[in-house]
Chains A and B, each alone.
Chain A
Amino acid sequence: MKRPLANAAALLAAAVTVFPIYWMLLSAFKPAGEITSTAVRPWTWHPSLDSFERVIGQENFGRYFLNSLIVAGTVVVLSGLVAFLAAVALTRFRFRWRTTILVLFLIAQMVPVEALTIPLFFLVRDLGGTVPGVGLNTLGSLVITHLAFSLPFAIWMMRGFVAAVPEAVEEAALVDGASRFTVLWRITFPLAAPGLAATSVFSFITAWNDFIFAKTFIISAKGNQTLPAALQMFVKPDENDWGGIMAASTLMTIPVLLFFVLVQRRLVSGLGGAVKD
């Protein structure tokens, strides 16, 4: 293929790929009259914030947004710490069940977590009243379940980054009299931190995008709903408020996009590493 032709094809593919996002943004900013008109309007001369105002004013939207941030943020921090420790154990030590544990983590990634919704629903229900902060209609139940489901992959990915930290640096610090614990937090952790960034994208996205658990565990306390389940409530069989839905979708996409942009390079190199491993 000639280069100009290839360039044009790539730009066309990019346009097609980004189009739904463009349409979401455009529709979120269109005034009500243009959304409900059946004429084709690929552009608007009258951008308006009405849809955003309507959504934000509706049914605790800000609260849902904050809930999603709390759940995803907590999962990212906790899974980063836990996965880091596990990755150290699995890269720096040789012990008996090492291979078995690794294979189990790999298998865990393949288990359809949707299928576990049923037993988890009963577990979460039964934990209510016994374990503080957990139970139906609590954000805690979303945090712990997402933590569990993001861990196997986070550990698997962190492993490569911990392995890349030169052991000589750690040994030098040990020789200088640092404790194992100090070495772990002052040397290994900061050096593996870029990997943590890439890993955290996946944990963040898993928790942020979750729909099925939020829908199942948060059944009556509407104030504890997270964004995806709240968004589904806006989608009605007929008479959709498309402007509002697109505004809500936009608000929901922004944090993930920001996260992606921030760690984009590391994500690609991390993936390359994971794939070529």
Chain B
Amino acid sequence: MTTAARRGRFLPLLYLLPTAVVLVPLFGYPLYQLGLISVFDYRQPQVSGGQPAEFVGVGNYTTLLSDPQFWSVLSTTVWFAAACVLATLAVGAALAVLLTRVGRVPRTVLSLAAMAAWAAPAMTGSTVWLFLFDTDLGLVNQTLGLGGHNWFYDRYSAFALVGATVVWHSFPFVMVSLYAGIRAVPESVLEASRIDGATVWQQFWKVIVPILRPVITIVVIQSVIWDFKIFTQIYVMTGGGIAGQNLVLNVFAYQKAFGSSEYGLGSAIGVVTTVILLAVTLFYVRAIRRQGEHL
């Protein structure tokens, strides 16, 4: 083997070295640690080193599984994420289709508005929406004459507002991706369907949607992943809600760990969230492979 070829064999590993230096200790190791802490009784005395951590095996998990609050938070998380995903997709898809039917100026204006919402940090989005729905000084209550009404007392209206903020932040990604996809559909295909007498509705469901399926798959799974791990909006806008009525898994884990110093329990919740999201990821990988992406 020549020197050049041998160097060629190690070169990619050399290029990957900086990545490994960052990812192994700061991603791989914490992931391993998360699993490890989740099987220990790890609380304030253990954290400060006063007592050794006690191995409890699946103890934290059985505690969780027998805790009705965990089940209610889990189902809330799934429902809330599902609602956010559906709303984001509906708004994003509708506006993407709309973009193909408007003039240049409205298209640019809507794109720029979407960019602004997309760019706004989750933190600022949360504060602005909080302000809009503030009890006394919020524009919504002032306009509707609902002075004194607190939207965050009620579980569902609080979730609806957080959901609206989430959709506002994330529909632009869906809109831009789908619009790019629709633009890539060959005009000849659309024309052929038109000649065959397809209505706009049929054209959308029977021609555009099947062609866009790969893009749609990615957008859906990406949204599922984002909406399942929402933290900032829930935490800032509701703080978990009255009596924890607006908790989702991530916030629940955070409160358990850093609020009640139940680090083992918090880690177990983190493991559950990770496992659920990894299951979604497997579908994601399969979906991309099926559309012919060469990994």
Contact = CB atoms under 8 A, between A and B. Distances in A.
Interface of A: 1, 3, 6-7, 9-11, 13-15, 17-18, 20-21, 23-24, 27, 35-36, 38-40, 42, 81-83, 85-86, 88-90, 92-93, 95, 98-99, 101-103, 106-123, 144-145, 147-149, 151-152, 155, 180, 205, 208-209, 211-212, 216, 227-228, 231-232, 235, 240, 242, 245-246, 249-250, 252-253, 256-257, 259-261, 264, 268, 271-272, 275-277
A209 B11 CA distance: 35
B130 to A, nearest CB: 7
B65 interface: no
Contacts of B253: 114-115, 118
A197 to B, nearest CB: 15
Given A14-B113, A275-B181, A242 B119 contact: no
Interface string B164-177: 00001000010011
Q: Is the interface of B mostly helix, strand, loop or mixed?
A: helix
Contacts of B130: 235
B281 A107 contact: yes
B137 A211 contact: no
A252 B121 contact: yes
Interface string B253-270: 110011000010011011
Interface residues of B, number: 99
A82 B22 contact: yes
B236 interface: yes
B128 A122 contact: no
Given A118-B37, A257-B120, 10 more contacts: A3-B102, A20-B125, A20-B129, A88-B15, A89-B15, A116-B30, A211-B122, A227-B123, A228-B232, A246-B128
Given A17-B116, A116-B31, A151 B22 contact: yes
Nearest to B231: A114
Nearest to A18: B113
A246 B127 contact: yes
Contacts of A113: 229
Nearest to A144: B26
Contacts of A118: 34, 37, 253, 257, 263, 266-267, 270
Contact of B123 (A1, A14, A92, A232): A232
A13 B229 contact: no
Contacts of B47: 122
Given A106-B284, A147-B26, A17 B129 contact: no
Contacts of A18: 113, 116-117
A54 B19 CA distance: 43
Given A10-B106, A89-B13, A209-B123, A148 B22 contact: yes
Interface-central residue, B15, B122, B236, by most chain A CB under 10 Å: B15
Contact of B19 (A117, A119, A155): A155
A119 B180 contact: no
Contact of A235 (B125, B127, B270): B127
20 contacts: A3-B101, A6-B102, A6-B106, A7-B105, A7-B106, A21-B117, A38-B137, A40-B139, A103-B285, A106-B285, A112-B229, A115-B270, A118-B263, A231-B127, A235-B127, A240-B137, A246-B127, A253-B120, A257-B116, A260-B119
